[in-house]
Structure 1
Amino acid sequence: MPVRRPPSTPALAVALASAALLLSACTADEPSASTAAVSARPEVVTADVPMRTVLDDVARGVTLPAEPQRVMVLNEELLDATLMLGVEPVGISLGRDQPTAAAYLQDRKPDLTYLVNAGLPDAPDVGAVLTAEPDLVLAGDATTPEVLAGLEAIAPTYVARVDGTEWTATLHSVAEALGREDRAATWLGGYDWRTQQVRQQIADAGNAGRSVALVLWTAEGPVVLDETSFAARVAASVGLTPTGRTGGAPGPVVPVSAIPASDRLFVFVRDALGVDGDALEAAMASAEVRALPAVAAGNVAVVDGSAWATRGGPAAAHLVLDDLLAAFGA
């Protein structure tokens, strides 16, 4: 068998010299990080990039790439939808009241840690967005006009409504912005099928119509989510009955004694490792909480609040279904 010999000394020298020249040329063409940070919106050649114009959720016409390649996502619900649609973002925001991306998404996709993070979802660091060099920005409808103007100076910005009352509408909006409406329709068909399966399993277990109370715990005390919240809507879709206050979620902090009676109590915090998590741990050990009928009967579950307290998304919906099935499907 022939033996592969190392290159001769002259040949090796020529190869190294060529590589050095190529590297030098590439480096000379690239702007420094400091230059990029203060540059205006980069000039984008669109001759070979198909573009389209759509109306976003606040009735703004947005001209954006037909197939965006570098998407910045500034909201956890929009990030959930983006990931489900098969798009890898170049940058994200923090999860609501969390020190990272929403924990339930971070757990499923740990490399979110390494993306550009623009900070708070409704007040992102526009400079951080610029460093990600996006060709599309997805923002929530709580973004202020001043921030929105800064984002639009960087890249086309699609504003999606995220109010939690109908989370699948948000999914449709993200799919429109990304040009992936067919994928969204396919996912929703599968999700509807799973919802019906879970509903049937709960009914077969004799638990159809059981009442559930959903309580978000904070450092200040418990907040009862009402029937319009995302998690309550998922519970209702599988034949359960959310109990508690009406008139919009989330509500005010209430005394422990005001937590409504229910067949099952689900409690959660947004950040299990923060002060809210400490408050919940202390509360669950207190005599007042242990005296609640559902807790005394052992019908209480501490679930992942980063998913349950969100305003809705594909991965969050499946996690809530998992917990409901575990509680009522056997």
Structure 2
Amino acid sequence: MRTTRTRRTAAVTLLTAAALALAACGGSGDDGEGGDAAPTRAVIDATGAEVHVPVEPKKIVALSEQDLDGLLALGVKPSGTVNGRGQTTPPAYLGDLAAGITTVGTVAEPALDAINDLEPDLILAGGVADEARLASLRDIAATVVTYKPETDWKTAFAKTAETVNKTAEADAWLADYTTKAGETKTAIADHTGESVSIIRWNPDGPVVMLKDSFASLVIQDAGLVRPDTQQEPGFAHTDVLSLENLDKADGDWIFAATLQPGSAEALAEAKETPAFAALGAVEDEHFVEVDGTLWTSRGGPLGALKVLGDLTANLGE
């Protein structure tokens, strides 16, 4: 009888020791499966979906300029990204910061095979609304929609930071941005309240960026406004203006950008027309040509600082 009890006691002891050893080795993640799965944490993305993401992602693919900008601002270099709108490279304003990142298509058409080849453990899909595309991305790796098209850049940045477990760093970054916006406002104080027209000149003519577009929000932080003719809500741009309606592109200042091939030539031709010469901002020599990848696309925190820099360079003392 004693022998049987002894054997049972020994077996229980061995099982308990094995369980304790497994727990000590981290046999399961925070929210993940058992075995060798990396620990994960839950994030609620911009669509309301709960996504389990790696606590420490190793290979990230950013499928928008805004996600790429936000990651780089946080000191995180993704393995893959997409080309900027109208470009064959990541956004030009990011310069060397984006060097060496593999491109996997465009914002409109990311290449699933190229993404899969990178073997990512996290995909940031800001702005993606197509459910079929999201399903395909989720088959590759945990996929977080960091923003909807109408989301402002600060909110989008905060969600990108939350997804990669760097909320504290983003909070500090935004606080620093607020300080720099205040410094810019002081530097251009003589122009506080003046109107700034933001246009993109395409080969077939100019379009006006809407009131809630990226650069429009940044100039507001610096104490400037959009013209009365440019108060239409939205984050994209208007239809192309004809030369007869070019007065809608006017303001105390015009910041004009180009993106597509042939746009610079079209702008040069427009400058020779009477309608262009009659614009108040042109007469006052307040017409400024700027980087379209920065002023008329979706940007993030690094882009916002560059917009502030352009304002200081052109409106400051």
TM-score, structure 1 normalization: 0.80
User: Of 89, 97, 100, which residue of structure 2 is paired with 1:109?
Assistant: 97
User: Of 51, 55, 58, which residue of structure 2 is paired with 1:69?
Assistant: 58
User: Of 306, 309, 312, which residue of structure 2 is paired with 1:322?
Assistant: 309
User: Of 288, 295, 304, which residue of structure 1 is paired with 2:275?
Assistant: 288
* Change beyond 3 A, Cα 1:110–1:313: closer
Residues in 2 aligned to 1:304 and 1:285: alpha-carbon distance in whole angstroms: 22
User: Of 172, 184, 189, which residue of structure 1 is paired with 2:158?
Assistant: 172
The count of aligned residue pairs is: 280
Q: Is 1:254 matched with 2:238?
A: no
User: Over aligned residues, Cα RMSD in angstroms?
Assistant: 1.9
1:220 corresponds to which residue?
A: 204
1:279 corresponds to which residue?
A: 266
User: Of 138, 145, 148, which residue of structure 2 is paired with 1:152?
Assistant: 138
CA drift at 1:247: 3.2
Residues in 2 aligned to 1:138 and 1:172: alpha-carbon distance in whole angstroms: 13
CA drift at 1:285: 4.1
Residues 93-112 of structure 1: CA deviation (Å, up to 9, x unaligned) = 1111222111112x24252x
Q: Is 1:86 matched with 2:70?
A: no
CA drift at 1:77: 0.9
Amino acid at match of 2:239: P
CA drift at 1:164: 5.3
* Change beyond 3 A, Cα 1:49–1:110: closer
1:6 corresponds to which residue?
A: none
Residues in 2 aligned to 1:110 and 1:181: alpha-carbon distance in whole angstroms: 22
* Change beyond 3 A, Cα 1:84–1:168: same
Amino acid at match of 2:115: V
Unaligned runs of 5+ in 1: 1-43
Amino acid at match of 2:175: G
Write out aligned runs for 1:110-125 (5 A): 111=99, 114-125=100-111
1:269 corresponds to which residue?
A: 258
Secondary structure, aligned partner of 1:93: strand
* Change beyond 3 A, Cα 1:164–1:231: farther
* Change beyond 3 A, Cα 1:164–1:197: farther
Residues 121-175 of structure 1: CA deviation (Å, up to 9, x unaligned) = 1331100001111110001233421221111111111111143552100001100
Percent of matched pairs sharing the same residue: 33
* Change beyond 3 A, Cα 1:47–1:232: same
CA drift at 1:45: 8.7
Q: Please say if residues 46 and 148 of structure 2, whose CA atoms lie closer than 8 Å, have aligned partners that are also in contact.
A: no
Q: Is 1:310 matched with 2:294?
A: no
Q: Please say if residues 209 and 240 of structure 1, whose CA atoms lie closer than 8 Å, have aligned partners that are also in contact.
A: yes
Residues 196-255 of structure 1: CA deviation (Å, up to 9, x unaligned) = 11112221xx22111111111111210112322221111111111211331323111112
Q: Please say if residues 77 and 162 of structure 1, whose CA atoms lie closer than 8 Å, have aligned partners that are also in contact.
A: no
Q: Is 1:139 matched with 2:125?
A: yes
Amino acid at match of 1:209: G
Residues in 2 aligned to 1:208 and 1:247: alpha-carbon distance in whole angstroms: 22
* Change beyond 3 A, Cα 1:171–1:46: farther
Residues in 2 aligned to 1:318 and 1:63: alpha-carbon distance in whole angstroms: 32
Q: Is 1:235 matched with 2:219?
A: yes
Residues in 1 aligned to 2:61 and 2:128: alpha-carbon distance in whole angstroms: 16
Amino acid at match of 2:256: V
* Change beyond 3 A, Cα 1:284–1:92: same
Amino acid at match of 1:109: L
Amino acid at match of 1:252: D
Secondary structure, aligned partner of 2:115: helix
2:15 corresponds to which residue?
A: none
The more displaced of 240-249 and 128-137 is 240-249
Residues in 1 aligned to 2:287 and 2:216: alpha-carbon distance in whole angstroms: 16
Secondary structure, aligned partner of 1:151: helix
CA drift at 1:311: 2.4
Residues in 1 aligned to 2:87 and 2:274: alpha-carbon distance in whole angstroms: 29
Residues in 2 aligned to 1:80 and 1:242: alpha-carbon distance in whole angstroms: 25
